[in-house]
Amino acid sequence: MSYIDQIKAKARADKKTIVLPETNDKRTLIAAAHIIEEGIANIIMVGNEEKIMDGAGWLEVDLSGVKVVDPHNCDKFDTYVNLLYETRKHKGMTEEKAREILLSDNLTFGVVMVKNNDADGMVAGACHATADTLRPALQILKTAPGVELVSGFFILDVPNCEYGEHGTFLFADCGLNQDPTSEELAAIADTSAKSFKNLVGAKPIIAMLSHSTKGSAHHPLVDKVVNAVKIAHEKYPSLTLDGELQTDAAIVPSVAKSKAPGSEVAGKANVLIFPNLDCGNIGYKLVQRLAKAEAYGPMLQGIAKPVNDLSRGCSWEDIVGVVALTAVQAQLM
Q: What is the pLDDT of residues 179-191, one digit of tens each?
A: 999 999 999 999 9
For residue 242, the model assigns a pLDDT of 93
Overall average pLDDT of the 199-222 stretch: 91
Task: Give the chain's mean pLDDT.
Answer: 91
Better pLDDT: 233 or 138: 233
Is 122 within 8 Å of 111 (Cβ atoms)? yes
Give me the mean pLDDT over the 190-216 stretch: 92
Do the beta carbons of residue 302 and residue 200 sit within 8 Å? Answer: no
Instruction: Please determine, for residue 38, whether its predicted confidence score (pLDDT) is greater than 90.
Output: yes
Question: Residue 129: what pLDDT?
Answer: 80
pLDDT tops 90 at residue 204: yes
Query: Looking at the whole model, is its pTM more than 0.75?
Result: yes
- 234 band by pLDDT with thresholds 50, 70 and 90: very high
**In this predicted structure, what is the pLDDT of residue 256?**
94
Q: What are phi and psi of 162, to 5 degrees?
A: -90, 0
Q: How do residues 95-141 score in pLDDT, each as one tens digit?
A: 999 999 999 999 999 999 999 999 999 999 888 887 888 889 888 99
Reported as half-sphere exposure (CB side, CA atoms, 13 A), residue 26 has a value of 7
Does residue 63 register a pLDDT over 80? Answer: yes
- pLDDT over 80 (residue 1): no
Confidence of residue 156 (pLDDT cuts 50, 70, 90): very high
pLDDT at 333: 79
pLDDT digits (tens, 9 = 90+) for 49-58: 899 898 988 9
* pLDDT of 194: 92
Task: Give the pLDDT confidence score for residue 2 in this predicted structure.
Answer: 83
Give the pLDDT of residue 128.
84
Confidence of residue 142 (pLDDT cuts 50, 70, 90): confident
Give the strand pairing for 151-157 and 168-172: antiparallel
3-state secondary structure of 308: strand
Quick one: average pLDDT of 74-97? 92
Q: What is the pLDDT of residue 279?
A: 95
Question: Mean pLDDT over residues 161-174, rounded?
Answer: 93
In tens, the pLDDT along 248-286 reads 999 999 999 999 898 999 999 999 999 999 999 999 999
Predicted confidence band of residue 42 (pLDDT cuts 50, 70, 90)? very high
- For 25-30, the CB contacts below 8 A with 24+ separation are 25/126, 25/127, 26/55, 26/59, 27/126, 27/314, 27/315, 27/316, 27/319, 28/126, 28/316, 28/319, 29/55, 29/56, 29/59, 29/61, 29/63, 30/59, 30/61, 30/316
